[in-house]
Structure formats: C-alpha cells, structure tokens
Structure 1
Amino acid sequence: MRKRIISALLIVAIFAALFALVACNDNGDDNGDETVVTFVKTDGAKIIDENGKAIGLYGTNLGGWLVQESWLVPTDIGKTYGQIDMMLDLANRFGEDGMYRLLDVYEDNWVSELDFKRIKDLGLNCVRIPFTYMNLTNPIKKVGDKYERTPYAELAVDESKFARLDWAIEMCKKYSLYAILDMHGAVGSQNGNDHSGDIAYPDGGRLWGDDETGEICRAKTKEIWIAIANRYKNEPTVAVYDLMNEPGIKKNGNQTTTSRTHEYFDELYKAIREVDKNHIISVESCWTSFDLPNPAKYGWENVIYQYHHYNWASSGVANAAYYGQQITWNNLATKKYNVPILIGEFNVWPDSHKDKVKATGK
C-alpha cells in the first residue's frame, strides 16, 4: 500500500514537472489583467461589488492541489486514502523534510501560473481553493523513530505555511480573479471522507464528537479560521470564506447537515466576524437546498448558501431532469432565505456534452 502510494505520487510529480516545462512556452510572461477586483458583498439574493453592480461568481475548483483526492489525482492504488496517510508514508520513508520536498514538487506543478491565465482566458472570474488544516499546521510529529499524527490538542497554526494560499491569491489578483478559500478538511474531519484528507473515522469524522476530542477539533478548526481571517481581512481578491466542505453528520446511514452543524457554523461565523466584517461567508449544505437554517435565526449577514450537485451515473436520472429539479429547489430556497447561492461543485456524468450544462446558467 505505502509503496504504491509513494510510486503513484512520484509519477504524478514527474509528469507534472514535464508538463510545466512544455507549458512554459505558452506566454508565461503575460502581465495579467489590469482590472482591479474590489470587495464584494451580498445584497439580498445578489452579490454586488463596491459600486453596487451585481456580479456572478463563475469559476472552477483547484481540485487535487493542496489536498489529493483519490478520484481527482492520477493514481491507481486500488484503495481510497487520506492526505494524512500519504504524508505519514512519505515522512516515514524519506523523513519530514523529504516529504515536504516531494509535496513541493507536486504542488509547484499541479497548479501553475498558466492555469490562472487559462481560467481567465476562458471567461471565468473566480477559483475555489480547497485546503485542509494539514496545509496550515504541523500535522505530523516524530515519536521515537517513527512519524505519527500530531495529537489534535498540539496542532498550531504555522504562518509560514500560508505561502501556497498567498501565492494563489497573488495569481488571482494578477489575473483579476476572485478567490474562494475552501476549508476542505477541518481538524478531525467533518465527514470522514478522503476529500477531507482523513479517512480514519469514516462514520463522519471526529469534528462532531460529543467527547473531549470533538471539542478540541472544533476549537482548533476555529483557531485556523481566525488566523485566516486575520491574514486576509483586508484582501479584496478573496471573495468568500467557505467555512467547511460538505459537513456531513451521519444520520440514518446518510450524511446530512443538522442543527448541530448549524450551531457550529454560527460559532465559526461569530469568531470570524470578530476580526473580519468584510468578507462573504459561505455556509454549505449536505445535501439539499433546505438543509440549512434561515440566516435570520442566527443573525447571519453577508453570507451565501452553497450546494453541491452530483448526479452519479448510478442514479439512472438524465442530467437535464436532475439539474432541472435542483435549480427549482435552489430557486425556492433563495426566495425563502433571501441569500445568494453558490453551486460550488457539480458534475455532468455520464452525458457530459456541453449542451447538458446550459441549464445551470438559467
């Protein structure tokens, strides 16, 4: 298992490096777009800029960059794994410095400046940047002759590890793109899935636990958001703080968003607002348009509600019908809550012809 993970990541890094060498001939010295982005905020069900002009956020995710989701990166290991497992495997083989050097090669090449230029050239205006607590803290430590997970209580924000996010935001600024900072993996995991970076507790992660561990995970996640807000509170290129990707508490065998999730969202919202009143805060649902509370209940302002729509091939429902239903529900939720909505992720399998996604723009 470890050898296959390591080999796969090395192959990815090599191919990414080769791609970067080829791609650098594509006008890598472009000076970007001189258009200056301004702070955005919500106004009822609209997002507006500082001049009061309504805007839409149209973009893409930088998937597989700062958190390697097994279905996004070109690995074939036959088993789902989490980011923390990969980090431990690499550290125990190459040492912590070696592990970070390998990750640097991968991250330097998985996303490059050329990607931001191409995103802009496609007519898009934002990027959603998934990251986890592991990108901003000290997730592993050496115990004896072996690297292990850092106990949750010992996690600490490392300001030097903001370099990747800082760079991405600078690239967004250069190409007049907005950035959505997406906490894809909270401390302890908010869903137990590989895209949170931690699959040790697949029944929903440790974040929602009633025990001391759950309390620690929630406190540490809040510390990270406070650090993020302090760092970027005056940065208009950042449009949205995305509190947590797909926060799924297990209920009746499914993952869903509950009042427990809402209460923690409110805790994060208040902590961020103590230091940053500028940025839009995104609250996510698992999974429907009506799994989130009325924002008036908590006094939330300058928030958007975010949904992810995946019509899996096994559903047997055509994309046109599936997305037509989702759009109807989204419109009803928007009318009910009077907040803008963001479709942060969606797919168009199996009939992924471009005509099938036109409905998302209606």
Structure 2
Amino acid sequence: MAKLNSSNLVMGLLLMFCCLGAYADAKSPALTSFDRSKLSQPQSLIRVSGNKLLDESGKQVILRGVNIADPAKIFKQQQWSLSLFTELKAWGVNVIRLPVHPSAWRTADKDNYLALLDEAVSWANSLSLYLIIDWHSIGYLPSNTYQDKMYDTTLEETKEFWHIIAQRYKNVPTIAVYELFNEPTDLGQKAGKANWLDWKNVNEQLIDIIYAQDKNVIPLVAGFNWAYDLRPIAEHPIERAGIAYTSHPYPQKTSQDLNSNKDNNFTLWQRDWGFAASDYPVIVTELGWVQADGYGAHIPVKNDGSYGPQIVEFMEQRNISWVVWVFDPNWSPTMISDWQFTPTEQGAFFKQQLLKLNN
C-alpha cells in the first residue's frame, strides 16, 4: 500500500553501494549463514498440513500480527530497536511482516541490510514472535513493469534475493514465511495482460530456489489485482507442496462505497480469495482502512470503519491468518500516529482484536 515520502526510503542508511555477484556465488559474504547462537528462545517450526498451519506438536497455528515499514526506513528514522518489537508484543501480535523493497535492497550493501534482518530475527525470537519476509515489489515480473521506482526489480534479482535469504536463514524457525512477491498486477494492462500460467511458472521457479536451500519454510504466493484475486488457482494451483496463498483484501476491492455492506463483502471475498482456505492455508498479509478524510487516504483503503469487524469475522470463521498494514506513523493506512505508539482508529481496533484473539 501507500508509502509517503518514499524517496527517503533508504537515504542515509548505509555506507556504500555494491554489486553482488551471481546468486550462485557461494563465496559472497552475503551468503554466510545466520549465527544461531543469537537465538535465545526455542521456537517450533511451522509447517503446512492440508489447509492448516501446524507447529511441531501438531497444534494449529493462526498467525495474527502487523506489518512494519521497510527496516531501512525505520533504521533511518532511528526507530529500529528491540523496543519497537517489544511494543508490538504488547499489542498482542504473534507475527511481524518485514517488507523489503527492491530499491532498498539494491541500494544498500547487502551485508548491512542482512544485519538489520539478523537483528529482527534475534529480537523476534527473544519475544517468541514469528516473521514473514516479503519481497515488496508491485508490478509484473514477466514483463519487467513496476508501479514505482522503489519497486523496480528483475526476475534475476528476485531469484538472487531468495537464494541469499533461504541460504542464510536455513532452518531458523523464527522466519516462518517467505512472501515471494508482494503485489503482482499488470497495472491496468500497462504491463500487458497478466497471464496466470506465466505467473505460476515464475513462482514455481522461486519456490525451487528456496527449497533447494531450506524446505522448513512456507513460500507464500499472491494472486493478481494487487494480490487480491486468487481465482486462477481453482484450475491452476501452484504445483509445489508446503505452500500458502495470500490476499490483500482492502475495503474498496469489493465496492467504492465508504460504508461496507457485509453481505456483499462476504460474497465477494469468498468468491475471490476466501474459497482457497478450504484447501490451502491462507495468510492475509495486508488489510486495513482509513477514514476518507484521514491521513494518507487513497483507494482502495478508504472506509468508515465498518470494514474492520467484518473482515476479522470473515477471516476468523475460516481460520485465516492475518497481518495488518501498517505499524508506522508515515505509511498509510497507519496504525499509529507517532513514535510514542499512539493508536489511530484502525490501530485501536486491531490492537484490541490481537490482544483478544492471540491471548
């Protein structure tokens, strides 16, 4: 979703630019393994079984949490710290999604960016929280067309990223999910008409790269229309085991009206993505709203607030995991209005839900 002041995303973060060799170059410093001595707490691996996520004891896991901003952005603002993760724990989360923008990854020295992810792993583990690493691009990889410069990437770079991440964090249980590509879209056919079979093939290539390093992680696959629509999987699912699917069902995906009609929402959500939860784990990795006159209001997130209870009810009825966008005062729709963690309208609602449902 929207990132305000995006031109400042990575400015001032790191010491230098660098060119990383091909992702198969095992001599690269970026391909070293995470130091597991930094894990202070035991955590269960999470695996896929049918349409459920299970821990090692066979207990079903429902992930409920929040997105933060790109770690590079938070670091630049001097807010990247254990105290941020401790605050998230106090809000009741059991998972945090880390959106890694290709522009930030590419601009930064890879080892410096990985150091931020290492800290996230250590902090999350110390608080018994799980992580989702998200390759946060918007566009269409097969045609190399993207919504904004911050999302520009290539298939080669995307493969390289997942090779590095999968090798570095092999068998680290804290990182439960790898979200392969944030929001695939043909940008209203500016990228040409998106083809599901082409997109399916791209995702299967990425999954193979990850599984060659680590089979104890869950690849997460998004559908078209900015990761909203999963209908193509009914006939052509991803042909790899152990995966989950995601949707980003913001309120105006079903209607431009600011007041959500529950019957209409439930019907369209079930048709467009909810059906997948009958056969696969579904993890909604972005949802949220803001009033039409609120900070950062834009389509598709404007709503009068009626959306919140409806989307939570829909997901909970189907054991769908969910991660709210976004625990940041600058990117919208915001959950906090400042770095003192003052909740916004949606922030207060989701904090109450997280504390109730996760505890």
TM-score per shorter chain, which class?
Answer: 0.5 to 0.7
Q: Secondary structure at the match of 2:251?
A: coil
**Which structure exhibits the higher relative contact order, with contacts defined as CA atoms closer than 8 Å and separated by 6 or more residues?**
2
Question: Match of 2:247, SS?
Answer: strand
Give the Cα–Cα distance (whole angstroms) in 1 for the partners of residues 7 and 62 of structure 2: 41
User: Is residue 2:232 matched to residue 1:263?
Assistant: no
For 1:334, the equivalent position in structure 2 comes to 277
Deviation at 1:352, TM superposition (A): 2.0
CA contact (8 A) 1:307 1:343 kept: yes
Q: 2:146 aligns to what SS in structure 1?
A: coil
Match status 1:310 vs 2:250:
yes
Q: How is 1:203-242 mapped onto 2 (pairs within 5 angstroms)? A: 217-242=154-179
Distance 1:295 1:241 in 2: 24
1:172 equivalent to 2:127? Answer: no
Aligned-pair RMSD on alpha carbons? 3.6
Q: Give deviations 1:142-190, integer Å, cap 9, x for gaps.
A: xxxxxxxxxxxxxxx7334301111111111111110000000389976
CA shift, 1:35, in A, is 6.5
Conserved 8 A contact 2:203-2:221: yes
The answer to whether the Cα contact below 8 Å between 1:177 and 1:237 also exists between their aligned partners in 2 is: yes
2:316 aligned partner: 361
Aligned match of 1:301: 241
Indicate whether 1:113 and 2:82 are aligned. Answer: yes
Higher helix residue share:
1
Deviation at 1:253, TM superposition (A): 5.8
2:146 to 183, 186, 192: 192
Residue 81 (structure 2) pairs with residue 124 (structure 1): no
Match of 2:287 in 1: 346
TM-score (norm 1): 0.63
CA 1:35–1:328 in structure 2 vs 1: closer, same or farther (change >3 Å)? farther
Structure 2 gaps of 5+ residues are 14-39, 290-301, 318-359
State whether structure 2 residue 3 is matched by structure 1 residue 51.
Answer: no
Which position in structure 2 is the counterpart of 1:285? Answer: 223
- In the alignment, the residues of structure 1 paired with residue 188 and residue 266 of structure 2 have an alpha-carbon distance, to the nearest angstrom, of 27
The structure-2 alpha-carbon separation of the partners of 1:122 and 1:171, relative to structure 1 and needing over 3 Å to count, comes to: same
Gaps of 5+ in 1: 14-33, 68-102, 140-156, 199-204, 208-216
Structure 1 position 116, deviation (Å): 1.4
Which of these two proteins has the greater Rg computed from alpha carbons?
Answer: 1
The SS at the match of 1:42 is: strand
Opposite residue 174 of structure 1, the aligned amino acid is S
TM-score, reference length from structure 2: 0.63
Q: In 2, Cα distance between the equivalents of 1:188 and 1:308?
A: 16
Aligned residues between the structures: 265
CA contact (8 A) 1:250 1:256 kept: no
User: Sequence identity of aligned pairs in percent?
Assistant: 24
The answer to whether the 8 A contact 2:139-2:147 is kept is: no
Partner of 2:239, secondary structure, is: coil
